[in-house]
Chain A
Amino acid sequence: MKLHEYQSKRLFSEFGVPIPKGKVASTPSEAKAIAEELGGRVVVKSQVLVGGRGKAGGIKLANSPKDVEKIASRILGMEIKGLPVRKVLIDEAVDISTEIYLGITNDRTTRQPVFMASAAGGVDIEVVAVKTPEKIIKVHIDPLLGLQDFQILNLAIGIEVPREIWPEFIQISKGLWQAYKNYDATLAEINPLVITEGGHLLAIDGKMVIDENALFRHPKLEDERDLDSEETSELEAKKNNITYIKLEGDIGCMVNGAGLAMATMDIIKHFGGEPANFLDIGGGANEEKVAAALRIILKDPNVKAVLFNIFGGITRCDLVAKGILEALKEVKTDVLMVVRLIGTNAEEGQALLADAKMATAKTLVEAAQKVVAAAKGDLHL
């Protein structure tokens, strides 16, 4: 789950990371009031869960509270990369002399957290990572020991942090690690961490991604989830414990198991079709779940044919068949269906579907070929 900049910075500051004075607003008049309270120049920053906000015009400097109101009303009406801006962060403006990058994420290769720092912070850190990776200093953290002081010092030396602010750098690095660890983040990033003209460190932008599997430990964060950045159909699927991802094609798929679901999409493509979705009904799916999944697939107007590929293990094919019939009672559709049931209770399942108007297949290859033909209008029942 991605957190907004204002949420991330608030969590960082809980662990002693200095952030600019500021508050979040949902209306232009709120924004103005915050600017008045702060006094002086401020930055109006759109809070949307995508990168490139600045380049899209979603971050603006304002000289007076009146300006803030005007700018906020413009930004609050914007859409950035398809996401509506519902909140703006009003932060005091800062005079910047240097921009540093700090970030912690999980390194899958070493199976440890990795702390990265670069003196070339700012908006183009991705370019730095690709073109001049030597400018990013990395230390790996033993998950049992945590971040050690000498490691922070190595980062400070590596990116040439001025000695007089080493104590601040150490405090901020420790704070970032604590935030990462205590909130079960998979990413915690300060970019940029600036050295102000006054010679102090300040985290002026922040980003966090929280491990969905650990949200039970952080109910407070779950309450703040921003639903705008998630597809409605994907959220509905999640409520039913189904994993659904919408794609651009016209062949709906319902599969049990993530790996098999991907392999099913791939084989559709292999035989010249385009999958409309990824859908994993999970292990041990019952009738209700199958019915919910089919409803979700058929909501996509692009879908011309549906392939059911169920390898029964814990999942029982007869229950899947009942779910399909159940859903078809409610949803009237002309979409052609191809069913492949194999494994536990497959014969019972096939018998249940014998009277339904559906094509059946024994192998995955046969199923894929049939559904591709169906989507092209070349399969008739």
Chain B
Amino acid sequence: MSILVDKDTRLVVQGITGREGLFHSKEMIEYGTQVVAGTRPGKGGEWVLGGKVPVFDSVQIAVDATEANTSVIFVPARFAPDAMLEAADAGIALIVCLTELIPIQDVMRVRQYLENKKVRLIGPNCPGLLTPNEAKVGIIPGNIAIPGNIGIVSRSGTLTYEILFALKEKDLGASTCVGIGGDPINGTNFIECLEMFEDDPQTDKIILIGEIGGKDEEKAADYISTNMTKPVYAFIAGKTAPPGKRMGHAGAIVEGGEGTAAKKIKALETAGVLVANHPEEIAEMVQG
């Protein structure tokens, strides 16, 4: 078991003919993910990756032809909002949007529409998901993780890789790793992932990787103290971040005294979460 993606995931890649889309589709297929289709308006009928993946003009046609149930979006920021809406209307149940730099009001509108339609969105501006040895949807390097009983949910990209790698060094593996994205407004949040990990029989422990900005870690802490029976470990990046400066991710900013690492760490510790001082320490903590 795992959450969200597994060997039954049937993936359509939106923007498969672009440089990034093509490269990562190849990586995902090599990992064992069932990449059943790609889309690119105007290129329907072509095949890519040595004739392995058919390209369709629209997600609807791709879904009708291949029964794809999950989409991953590699299209540029100006077209990504439309791509998300298109996938939702075509009946895709899980949309993973990797695209960064999408205007925030577009994200708010799309998110509201998807929520009304009960379609799950991961991202935008995220590395995607990895269920080791089953499926990789996105760009998380497959070779840095092994299967195991640790669920990971993170707002970050390479920081997540660092922690996956530190776990692997200690022979610790992941059930599923979910990158929820670094934007101020995103689809699936910490709490929804915690809930899924709590219900997943393969997951025994959970690692939450947060960063400065917003209140999602504090809300997750509240949720953990009342709803979680499985142990949760955390790392929060940005203790040294100055207020008012956006630390790379659009969502990583301390504003009006809100969103500091100190507040988040305090909330998590109060909820009984062990918080690590640095990425490698979290692997030691989880090992116990």
Contact = CB atoms under 8 A, between A and B. Distances in A.
B185 A108 contact: yes
B109 A109 contact: no
Nearest to A141: B108
B184 A106 contact: yes
A247 B240 contact: yes
Interface stretch (A16-24, A31-39, A94-102, A210-218): A210-218
A143 B141 contact: no
A219 to B, nearest CB: 13
Interface of A is mostly: mixed
A313 B159 CA distance: 11
A344 B108 CA distance: 35
B55 to A, nearest CB: 23
Given A181-B105, A259-B209, A111 B237 contact: no
Interface stretch (B32-40, B44-52, B57-65, B274-282): B274-282
Contacts of A258: 156-157, 182, 211, 247-249, 252
B165 A342 contact: yes
B108 A184 contact: no
Given A211-B104, A257-B157, A280-B248, A262 B211 contact: yes
B205 interface: no
A259 B108 contact: no
B59 to A, nearest CB: 21
A275 interface: yes
A343 B235 CA distance: 21
A263 B237 contact: yes
A217 B141 contact: no
A263 B236 CA distance: 8
A257 B161 CA distance: 10
A126 B162 CA distance: 40
Contacts of B261: 266
Interface of B: 77-78, 101-106, 108-109, 111-113, 116, 139-141, 144, 154-162, 165, 182, 184-185, 209, 211-216, 219, 235, 237-242, 245, 247-252, 256, 261, 277-280
Interface string A302-315: 00000000010110
Given A108-B185, A213-B102, A257-B158, A266 B108 contact: no
Interface of A: 106, 108-109, 111-113, 126, 142-144, 181, 184, 186, 211, 213-214, 216-217, 243, 245, 247, 255-263, 265-270, 275, 278, 280, 283, 311, 313-314, 342-344, 363-365, 368
Instruction: Count chain B CB atoms within 10 A of each CB in A143, A258, A314 and give the residue with the most.
Output: A258
B248 A243 contact: yes
24 contacts: A106-B184, A108-B185, A186-B104, A211-B103, A213-B77, A214-B104, A243-B247, A243-B248, A245-B247, A247-B242, A257-B158, A258-B156, A258-B211, A259-B237, A260-B157, A260-B161, A262-B159, A262-B241, A262-B247, A263-B278, A266-B261, A268-B240, A270-B278, A343-B161
A269 B113 CA distance: 43
A216 B158 contact: no
A365 B158 contact: no
B248 A108 contact: no
B109 A144 contact: yes
